[in-house]
Every structure is written in structure tokens, then in C-alpha cells.
């Protein structure tokens, strides 16, 4: 029985861009906390009678917009935690960007293999 090529190419067969993106993604996931979501600056009322927010001068608040399952959720972030949460969200966005780059490289590999396979069988469609 002939040996089949591995479904995932070895590291040396990947492009330098894909290897770099994979390495960066693994480092960030392993070394840093991350959150997938967005930070949203809100203007809120507190509900206290006589407060300035009742007259239109609302309180600024930072919220984390995330998805939990199929639901969207807004989580209030206290001022002392804003810097930490910003870093975690930035790390999450960087990892998402790296995964997009890896996915694009894999798609290009798939399309090339598909073209090669169809050409071998004589079924290649004209461009």
C-alpha cells in the first residue's frame, strides 16, 4: 500500500510568513492573557436622584462587548482594570489577525493542491 503524504505539511514546507504567524500566535496564547471582544466607551446614568447625569451630563463608563455562546454581553470595566483589559483585548485582536493570516495561507495551499489534483485527473476547469 503506498504511503500517503501527511495532511498537514511539515514546518519546513510552510512559507516563512505562515511559520512566523504560527510561532507568534503560539507565543501570545501561551504567554499572555487575552480576551476576544471590543472595548466600548458608554455614557451612563447612575439613577441617583439629583445627580448631574439626570440632567444630561452622563457618567463615562468602559464596557467590554463580548459574545457568550449566541448572546452578546456588555461587561462594565472598573477604571483600575481598564489598562489590563485593554492589553488583553489587544492581544486577542493580534491573535485573531495571526489566525486570519494562517487561514489565508492554508486556503492558498488547499487551492493549489486542488488545482494539482484536478490537473492530474484531467478535470481542470479553464481559467
Residue-wise pLDDT for 58-96, tens only, equals 989 999 999 988 999 999 999 999 999 999 999 999 888
Dihedral sign computed on CA atoms, order 49, 73, 79, 40: negative
pTM for the predicted model, two decimal places: 0.68
Half-sphere exposure of 68 (CA within 13 A, CB side): 5
Residue 2 pLDDT class (50, 70, 90 cuts)? low
- How many domains does the chain contain in total? 1
Select from 17, 27, 3 the least CA-distant residue to 108: 17
Dump pLDDT digits (tens) for 98-126. 888 888 888 988 898 898 888 887 765 55
* Mean of all residue pLDDT scores within the chain: 84
In-domain check, residue 47: yes
Select from 81, 85, 94 the least CA-distant residue to 65: 85
Buried b (16+ CB within 10 A) or exposed e, 18-46: beebbebbeebeeeeebbebebeeeeeee
In-domain check, residue 2: no
- Residue 42: domain span: 16-114
The answer to whether residues 125 and 118 touch, using CB atoms and an 8 Å cutoff, is yes
3-state DSSP assignment of residue 35: coil
N residues, the chain: 127
Amino acid at each position: 500500500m503506498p504511503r500517503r503524504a501527511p495532511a498537514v505539511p511539515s514546518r519546513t514546507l510552510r512559507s516563512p510568513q505562515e511559520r512566523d504567524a504560527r510561532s507568534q500566535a503560539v507565543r501570545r496564547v501561551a504567554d499572555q492573557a487575552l480576551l476576544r471582544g471590543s472595548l466600548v466607551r458608554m455614557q451612563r446614568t447612575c439613577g441617583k436622584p439629583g445627580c448631574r447625569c439626570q440632567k444630561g451630563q452622563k457618567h463615562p463608563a468602559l464596557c467590554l462587548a463580548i459574545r457568550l455562546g449566541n448572546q452578546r454581553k456588555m461587561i462594565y470595566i472598573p477604571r483600575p482594570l481598564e489598562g489590563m483589559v485593554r492589553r488583553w483585548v489587544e492581544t486577542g485582536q493580534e491573535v485573531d489577525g495571526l489566525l486570519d493570516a494562517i487561514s489565508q495561507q492554508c486556503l492558498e495551499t488547499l487551492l493549489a493542491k486542488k488545482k494539482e489534483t484536478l490537473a492530474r485527473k484531467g478535470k481542470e476547469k479553464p481559467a
